[in-house]
Amino acid sequence: QVQVVESGGGLVQAGGSLRLSCTASGLTFDDHPLGWFRQAPGKEREGVSCISWSGGDAYYADSVNGRFTISRDNAKNTLYLQMNSLKPEDTAMYYCAAGGVGGECALFESEYNYWGQGTQVTVSS
C-alpha cells in the first residue's frame, strides 16, 4: 500500500522561510515524478512545483518561481520544497503527490496517482 506523508508546515511571518518534506513508501520512489500542490480556503487546488523521477527537470508555477525550490533525495525516499520570501498569499494546505511510473513532471492533478493528507502553511502579514 502506497503511503505519502507531508511534514514541515507551520506559521511563519511574511518574508520568512519554511521547508516542507514528503516521504513516500510502498512504491519504488525513484521511478516516479513528484509534485507539490496547494489549496487555499475557497479556492481550487493548484500545482506549485514538480520534479522528474531523476531530479533533472523541475517546473514551477509563476507565482512561486524564484522563491521556491523543489528537490528530491531518492536515497531517503524524500521530496522537499524550500519556500523562501513567503507571502500571505502562499497560505494554503500543501499536498505532495506521486505520479505514475515513468510519468511526466507536470502541474496537473490528473498526472498524479498518490496523494498525501497535506500540511498547513500559514503566512502572517
Query: What is the reported pLDDT for 21?
Result: 98
* Element spanning 71, H or E: strand 68-73
Query: What is the reported pLDDT for 101?
Result: 84
Strand stretches in 85-125, DSSP E: 92-99, 112-115, 119-124
Give the pLDDT confidence of 12-65 residue by residue, as tens digits. 999 999 999 999 999 988 899 999 999 999 999 999 999 999 888 999 999 999
- Using the predicted structure, report yes or no on whether residue 7 has a pLDDT greater than 90: yes
Percent over 70 (pLDDT), the chain: 100
